[in-house]
């Protein structure tokens, strides 16, 4: 066996998956207790801006937007100005024909999911997509549920079925993956500075104090 300096096939790239952002809406967030609203909105913004910057195929979907659940978080829609939002009646996104038509139009075999609530609106499409042969990833800290127990058991259920868990910052940095990729370096670090919490503060400090750059 010989090692080579090549990335593993299990790693995500910007153009090998579809990101589906599900039900990031006010009514859904009111009862979310497994993550506080500030972190949830921040992580939603981080992955949305990352996906937009790297040109990731992204589907935005809501449930009962006008009649019950309210608009999608502006942190997401601001990253995708003018993009169509698919409004559903089904709790399981994978049972909505318009969304599935868009999944098929895009044609990617990898699906990355994030949204509210983990145990209903993320479990549904995750298990359904896996059942149909798709490779599924779930951004755990860009999901939330009515309790820690509800979120954790939902993540367990999806992982046991074959879904791969990850985090918001992990998602962004996996898309960049090499600081020598100068065309996306400023964008990635800019998103991290704005939405990356303590990591972002570290970038601000290093660049402000001594002009640091990861690529050199």
Strands laid side by side in the 57-63 sheet:
85-88, 57-63, 17-22, 110-116, 135-144, 164-166
> Is there a contact between 30 and 62 (Cβ–Cβ < 8 Å)?
no
Element (H, E) at 183: helix 182-195
Closest Cα to residue 20, out of 117, 139, 127?
A: 139
Q: Taking every pair of C-alpha atoms in the chain, what is the biggest distance, in angstroms?
A: 59
C-alpha–C-alpha distance, residues 45 and 39, integer Å: 10
DSSP state of 178: -
Burial 150-169 (b: 16+ CB within 10 A, else e): bbeebbeebeeeebeebbbb
Among 20, 121, 127, 175, the active-site one is 121
Is residue 121 part of the annotated active site? The answer reads yes
Tell me which residues are annotated as active site: 121
């Amino acid at each position: 066996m010989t090692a080579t300096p090549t990335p593993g096939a299990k790693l995500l790239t910007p153009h090998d998956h579809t990101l589906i952002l599900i039900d990031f809406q006010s009514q859904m967030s009111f009862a979310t207790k497994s993550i506080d609203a500030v972190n949830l909105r921040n992580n939603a913004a981080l992955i949305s801006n990352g996906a937009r910057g790297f040109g990731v195929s992204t589907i935005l979907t809501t449930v009962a937007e006008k009649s019950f659940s309210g608009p999608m978080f502006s942190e997401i829609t601001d990253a995708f100005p003018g993009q169509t939002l698919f409004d559903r009646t089904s709790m399981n996104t994978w049972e909505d024909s318009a969304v599935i038509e868009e999944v098929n139009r895009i044609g990617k075999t990898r699906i990355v999911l994030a949204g509210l609530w983990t145990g209903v609106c993320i479990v549904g499409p995750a298990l359904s997509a896996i059942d149909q042969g798709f490779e599924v990833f779930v951004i755990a800290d860009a999901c939330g549920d009515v309790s820690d127990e509800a979120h954790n058991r939902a993540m367990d259920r999806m992982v046991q079925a074959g879904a791969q868990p990850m985090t918001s910052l992990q998602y962004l940095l996996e898309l960049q993956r090499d600081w020598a990729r100068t065309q996306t370096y400023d964008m990635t670090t800019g998103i991290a500075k704005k939405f990356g919490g303590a990591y972002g503060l570290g970038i601000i400090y290093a660049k402000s104090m001594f002009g640091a750059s990861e690529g050199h």
